[in-house]
Chains A and B, each alone.
Chain A
Amino acid sequence: MMEINVYLALIAIATLLSTYRVFRGPTTVDRLVAVDIMTTITTGLMVLFALYYGRMIYISVAFVYALLAFGGVIAFARYLEGGL
Chain B
Amino acid sequence: MNALSITGEILVLIGTFFYFLSTLGLIRMPDVYNRMQTATKSATLGSLGVIVGVGIWAVGKGYSPAWIVQTIAVAGFLLLTNPISAHALIRAAYKRGIPLWHGSVVDKYAEHLASKTQAKKAGGETSEEVSE
Contacts and interface: CB of A to CB of B under 8 A. Distances in A.
Given A10-B17, A33-B26, A41-B43, A56 B70 contact: yes
Contacts, number: 149
Interface in B51-95: 51, 54, 57-58, 61, 63-64, 66-67, 70-71, 73-74, 77-78, 81-82, 84-86, 88-93, 95
Interface string A25-40: 0010110111011001
A48 B23 contact: no
Interface residues of B, number: 52
Given A36-B40, A40-B43, A56 B91 contact: no
Contacts of A29: 32, 89-90, 92-93, 96, 98
A3 B95 CA distance: 45
Contacts of B44: 40
Interface of A: 3, 7, 10-11, 13-15, 17-18, 20-21, 27, 29-30, 32-34, 36-37, 40-41, 43-44, 47-48, 50-51, 54, 56, 59-60, 62-63, 66-67, 70, 73-74, 76-78, 80-82
B100 interface: no
